[in-house]
């Protein structure tokens, strides 16, 4: 079986490379010539642990190649994965223009049967739109070529993407015809390990499953953030509460971490898109609407604490900020809470010196224009003479820093911790003023 992946971003590149790793021959296509050039020259355009080595290994083995040539990529794969972006439209709904453009480009070039797989996160009903777009292009060519459209949403997490893809909890495949079902089940056989992980279902259920999963995770985060804010007022410690809750197996420990809100390329846009899909179909998703609202408010939480300590006017102040990426182990800055934190500090006249182990380059691209924002090359270098340290992303390297150096570098021993990384009692014993979330 030969495979084409359309879109060589976080999802497409990981999908294509992991499929090649199991022995398939894979062609990755992108419309961005810069990305393809980097890949053809042996680099990778994103940061994802372990990916670069895996790409190199599979290119060297002749199983993986990259192109901008649509005709070539359509001719190559029996299965054509669509893994392009689905950014939010103005009303919050998912913008399907890239998905539909990819579908049409397949239809313009295909000469025999193709399985077209929606790997991108797309609203319920998108497979029908993809099918209609392909049929229309084929009709315009006067071509009568069979094809199937499949929904195969991706559940990988940036930062752990390779492991997630190679050892998935489940593979959801939404399919309406036998031929495609058989091909997709065979395609995922190498990822089954010791038991069947493929969940075959109808296309619409598969499409909704992806949104349901992300919406649930976002809900847990917003729920905990609201409780954290309450705990703070009531003199409780949300971290103790978290342990007390999580030990109930019906609740579990995952995704109960309070902080400065969720970000990234998925939760914010997928929650908005699901709310919008519901609205278009006559439903109001009240819980999810609140989840989104609570998250917007939470992104301001750390700055509110800074303002409570220093006052509204922060001119003349400089803050060190650790962590820019929306979460550890990625350089992804899409909807990162750090962007709101920096903008809100800058708006009040403060200067910010930021450090992130991998996202600085991407942060310079998306936040470079913010007045007073500079970037440090190392975490301790960011601190020199700053009024306080703010922690926004919980990189492992921040877990056990040299607190003596922090104390000696800052103007005063003052930490605003948006990720609850440290023990408040111990830090206070060490002479630090420590503000965290919900404790």
Question: Which residues contribute to the site for ligand NAD (CB under 6 A)?
Answer: 6-12, 29-32, 35, 83-86, 98, 101-102, 120-121, 154, 156, 158, 265-266
Which residue has its beta carbon closest to ligand NAD? 9
From the CB of 347, what's the least distance to ligand NAD, in Å? Answer: 28
Comparing CB distances to ligand NAD, the nearer of 158 and 356 is 158
Least distance in angstroms from the C-beta of 94 to ligand NAD: 7
* Secondary structure, 3-state, 397-411: HHCCCCHHHHHHHCC
Are the C-beta atoms of residues 79 and 187 closer than 8 Å to each other?
Answer: yes
User: Is residue 18 flagged as an active site residue?
Assistant: no
Between 267-280 and 203-234, two packed helices, what is the crossing angle to 10 degrees? 120
Distances in whole angstroms, Cα of residue 151 to Cα of each of 154, 280, 292, 334: 10, 21, 26, 25
Instruction: Name, in order, each residue with C-beta under 8 angstroms of 350's C-beta and a sequence gap of 6 or more.
Output: 314, 315, 317, 318, 319, 372
User: Residue 359: how many CA atoms within 13 Å on its side-chain side?
Assistant: 28
The residue among 257 and 416 lying less far from ligand NAD, judged by its C-beta, is 257
Distant-in-sequence, close-in-space partners of 14: CB < 8 Å, separation ≥ 6: 48, 51, 156, 161, 162, 165
Q: Of 97 and 192, which has the nearer Cβ to ligand NAD?
A: 97
**What are the distances in angstroms from CA 175 to CA 117, 151, 153, 182, 214?**
10, 7, 12, 10, 21
Q: Which is nearer to ligand NAD, 29 or 342 (CB)?
A: 29
Between 263 and 438, CB nearer to ligand NAD? 263
Contact 306, 416 (CB under 8 A): yes
> Rounded to an integer, what distance in angstroms lies between the CA atom of residue 194 and that of residue 56?
28
Q: What would you measure as the largest C-alpha separation in the chain, in angstroms?
A: 78
Shortest Å distance, C-beta 293 to ligand NAD: 21
DSSP 3-state assignment of 253? coil
| Residue number, 17 or 265, with CB nearest to ligand NAD | 265
Nearest partner of 405 among 419, 386, 424, 423, judged by Cα: 386
Q: Which long-range contacts (CB under 8 A, 24 or more apart) does 285-288 make?
A: 287/219, 288/215, 288/218, 288/219
Q: Of the residues 18, 27, 28, 266, which is catalytic? A: 266
At its nearest, how many Å lie between ligand NAD and the CB of residue 222?
19
Which of 133/256 has CB closer to ligand NAD?
A: 133
Q: How many angstroms separate the CA atoms of 85 and 378, rounded?
A: 33
Q: For the chain, first and last CA: distance in Å?
A: 55
**Alpha-carbon span 27 to 116, nearest angstrom:** 14
Catalytic residues: 266
């Amino acid at each position: 079986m030969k495979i084409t992946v359309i879109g060589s971003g976080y999802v497409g590149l990981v999908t294509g490379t992991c499929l090649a790793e199991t022995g398939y021959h894979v062609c990755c296509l992108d419309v961005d010539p810069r990305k393809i050039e980097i890949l053809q020259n042996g680099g990778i355009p994103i940061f994802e642990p372990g990916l670069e080595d895996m790409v190199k290994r599979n290119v060297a083995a002749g199983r993986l190649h990259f192109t901008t040539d649509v005709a070539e990529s359509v001719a190559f794969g029996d299965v054509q994965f669509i893994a392009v972006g689905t950014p939010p439209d103005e009303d919050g709904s998912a913008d399907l223009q890239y998905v539909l453009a990819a579908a049409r480009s397949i239809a313009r070039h295909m000469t025999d049967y193709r399985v077209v797989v929606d790997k991108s996160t797309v609203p319920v009903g998108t497979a029908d739109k993809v099918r209609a777009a392909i049929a229309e292009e084929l009709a315009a060519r006067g071509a009568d070529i069979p094809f199937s459209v499949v929904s195969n949403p991706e559940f990988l997490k940036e930062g752990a993407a390779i492991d997630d893809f190679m050892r998935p909890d489940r593979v959801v495949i939404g399919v309406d015809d036998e031929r495609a079902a058989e091909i997709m089940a065979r395609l995922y056989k190498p990822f089954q390990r010791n038991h069947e992980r493929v969940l075959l279902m109808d296309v619409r259920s598969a499409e909704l499953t992806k949104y349901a999963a992300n919406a649930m995770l976002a809900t847990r985060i917003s729920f905990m953030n609201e409780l954290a804010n309450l705990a703070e007022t009531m003199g409780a410690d949300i971290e103790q509460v978290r342990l007390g809750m999580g030990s109930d197996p019906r609740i579990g420990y995952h995704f109960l971490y309070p902080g400065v809100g969720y970000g990234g390329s998925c939760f914010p846009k997928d929650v908005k898109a699901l709310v919008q899909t519901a609205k278009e179909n006559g439903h109001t998703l009240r819980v999810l609407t609140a989840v989104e609202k609570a998250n917007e408010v939470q992104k301001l939480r750390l700055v509110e604490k800074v303002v409570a300590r220093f006052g509204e006017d922060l001119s003349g102040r400089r803050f060190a900020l650790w962590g820019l990426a929306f979460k550890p182990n990625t350089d992804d800055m899409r909807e990162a809470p750090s962007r709101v934190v920096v903008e809100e500090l800058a708006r009040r006249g403060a200067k910010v010196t930021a450090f992130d182990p991998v996202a600085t380059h991407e942060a310079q691209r998306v936040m470079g224009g913010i007045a007073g924002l500079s970037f440090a090359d190392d975490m301790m270098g960011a601190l020199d003479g700053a009024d306080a340290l703010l922690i926004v992303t919980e990189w492992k390297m921040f877990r056990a820093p040299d607190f003596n150096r922090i104390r000696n570098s800052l103007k005063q021993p003052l930490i605003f911790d948006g990720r609850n990384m440290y023990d408040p009692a111990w830090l206070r014993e060490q002479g630090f003023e420590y503000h965290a979330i919900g404790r």
